[in-house]
Amino acid sequence: MKGFMNEPRKIIQGLWPALVILVAALLVSTFVTEFTFVSGTQAIWKTLVRFLRLSATLVIPLLFLPQVCSLMQALLNRGHMQLIQLQEENERVFQPVLYWLLRPFQGIGLAMLFAAKLLYFLQIYSGSRVGTSTILPPGQFYFLRFLTATAIAVAVSWLLSFLWALDDLGVRCYNRKTKEIRMIGKYLGLFLPIFFGFYGIMNIFEDSPWSLAAQYVAQMVIVLYPPFVAFIVFHAWYVKRFKSVLLKKLHVTDEPFMT
């Protein structure tokens, strides 16, 4: 992250792919056809409000990242395990592929995976099948639906912000007994949440033709992409700004072989 996020201009530069997708979706929805589940003149304010609401839901939990790190370090710094910082990885330059492609789709896939698991649970609990109407945005506001979507977004924000912070800071888990150094969260991976998240949502849409289901999922991705890019950009700024605080909360050492 060296040389990145030093000023507001850099933040705007990091956000430009999200803004392009947002404006394109707004124009298509307003002047061409129904797109991203809105249409007509209402699309102008609905698209912007939705972007701001989803972005805020993902970004605001970053304020609690130090507390999350403090809680998680108690689980990771135990027994023979110790969190260490690899000096050669503690500074990262801005990588467009990572910040504009890989991480946004990891976040979108994980959010879809959480949503699919919740819908399956509700399906089992209620004994009735969850239909397409349960997933697609309704025409009016439902508080329970809003609360559920917010809870999923906050959970995804805390999980990914913690794992990404460890990666950006070069923090790894060191086993003093075996001398192994491992990346935390490597089993979460990149493609597993994407594959299982998209697959789970597609299964929910099994009562619709495959082409229509793919269209729904594509529109969901377009809706979620700008907020996740905003989340990733502000996450990069936050980790750089509060690097020393996060490392202190994690009880990290850079000299594992001396212990």
Query: Which is more confidently placed, 210 or 242?
Result: 242
Burial of 124 (0-12, 13-18, 19+ CB in 10 A): exposed
pLDDT at 113 over 80: yes
The pLDDT score that the predictor gives to residue 120 is 75
Band (pLDDT 50/70/90 cuts) for residue 87 is low
CA dihedral 84, 87, 90, 94 (to 10 degrees): -140
63 contact partners, CB below 8 Å, separation of at least 6: none
Q: Tell me, what amino acid is at 253?
A: T
Cα–Cα distance for residue pair 25/21, rounded to 1 Å: 6
Q: Name the CA dihedral angle for 66, 68, 71, 73, rounded to a multiple of 10 degrees.
A: -70
Sheet holding 171-175, edge to edge: 81-85, 171-175, 181-182
Quick one: average pLDDT of 41-63? 93
Report d(CA 223, CA 38) in Å as an integer.
11
Average pLDDT over residues 163-171: 91
In whole angstroms, give the CA distance from residue 247 to residue 256.
15
Output the average pLDDT for the chain: 83
Residue 1 has pLDDT above 50, yes or no: no
Q: Fill in the amino acid letter for 129.
A: R
pLDDT tens string 226-247: 999 999 999 999 999 999 999 9
- Delimit the domains of the chain by residue range: 8-258
**What is the percent of the chain where pLDDT is above 90?**
39
Instruction: Specify the higher pLDDT residue, 228 or 102.
Output: 228
- The DSSP secondary-structure symbol of 172 reads E
Q: What is the CA radius of gyration of the chain?
A: 20
**257 has a pLDDT exceeding 60:** no
For residue 184, the number of C-alpha atoms closer than 13 Å in the C-beta half-sphere is 29
Q: Is the pLDDT of residue 90 over 60?
A: no
Q: Directed axis angle between helix 210-241 and helix 103-126, to 10°?
A: 120
C-alpha to C-alpha distances, 61 to 22, 226, 239, nearest whole angstrom: 23, 17, 13
- DSSP, collapsed to helix, strand or coil, labels residue 234 as helix
Choice between 155 and 87, residue whose per-residue pLDDT is larger: 155
Question: 37 versus 68: which is more confidently predicted?
Answer: 68
Question: Binning pLDDT at 50, 70 and 90, where does residue 190 land?
Answer: low
Cα–Cα nearest to 145, from 128, 130, 129, 157: 130
What's the predicted TM-score (pTM) here? 0.86
Least confident of 105-114, 140-149, 217-226: 140-149
